[in-house]
């Protein structure tokens, strides 16, 4: 399970702002792999993206003078079958890792869904889930 850069962007919560941002990313050939949005107070919204080209995304966001932060998150690929999320969340819990938030995305191959987990230690979470996946593949 790799770790990835997540961008959290504060946007004005009004029609068209998300579309404009997404188009600016698309114009620079930045692909959105995962997305989450929710309203904040004071007419703002928070948008989280995992993007295929963080360097180009920074250029776009900086050029738009966007208010954003970058965070390391854990990417987990799960098979599409019952119990996969339960198994993964349980492994992290047994290791003492709390999942602060999560959302889904799809890789360019679109054959598998992946989850994004916001956790305090993305690298540790990645190792635990990788070990669990390896153990599951062999037995």
Task: Give the pLDDT band of residue 137 (cuts 50, 70, 90).
Answer: low
CB distance 45 to 16 below 8 Å: no
- 94 pLDDT band, cuts 50/70/90, is very high
C-alpha dihedral sign at 109, 110, 112, 114? positive
CA distance 20 to 18: 5
Q: Nearest 5°: phi and psi at 57? A: -65, -45
In tens, the pLDDT along 100-135 reads: 999 887 666 655 566 777 778 888 888 887 777 666
**Buried-exposed string 72-89: b where 16+ CB fall within 10 A, e elsewhere:** ebbbbbbeeeeebeeebb
17-66 pLDDT per residue, tens? 999 999 999 999 999 989 999 889 899 999 999 999 999 999 999 999 99
pLDDT for the residue numbered 109: 63
Domains contained in the chain, number: 1
131: number of Cβ within 10 Å: 13
Please state the rounded mean pLDDT for residues 86-106. 90
Spatial separation of the C-alpha atoms in residues 65 and 63, rounded to whole Å: 5
CATH number, domain containing residue 137: 3.30.2130.10
pTM: 0.79
CA atoms within 13 A on the CB side of 80: 6
Q: Which residue has the tokens 């390896």?
A: 134
How far apart (Å, rounded) are the C-alpha atoms in residues 104 and 112?
A: 11
For 48, the domain range is 1-139
């Amino acid at each position: 399970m790799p770790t990835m850069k997540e961008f959290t962007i504060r946007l004005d919560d009004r029609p068209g702002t998300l579309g404009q941002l997404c188009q600016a990313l698309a114009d620079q050939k930045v692909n959105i792999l995962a997305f989450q949005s929710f309203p904040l107070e004071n007419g703002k919204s928070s948008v989280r993206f995992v993007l295929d080209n963080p360097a180009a995304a920074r250029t776009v966001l900086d050029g738009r003078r966007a208010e954003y932060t970058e965070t390391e998150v854990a990417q987990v690929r799960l098979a599409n079958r019952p119990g996969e999320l339960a198994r993964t969340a349980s492994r992290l819990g047994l290791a003492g890792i709390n999942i602060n938030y999560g959302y889904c995305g799809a890789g360019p191959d679109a054959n598998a869904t992946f989850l994004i987990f916001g956790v305090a230690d993305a690298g540790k979470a990645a190792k635990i889930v990788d070990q669990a996946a390896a153990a599951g593949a062999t037995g």
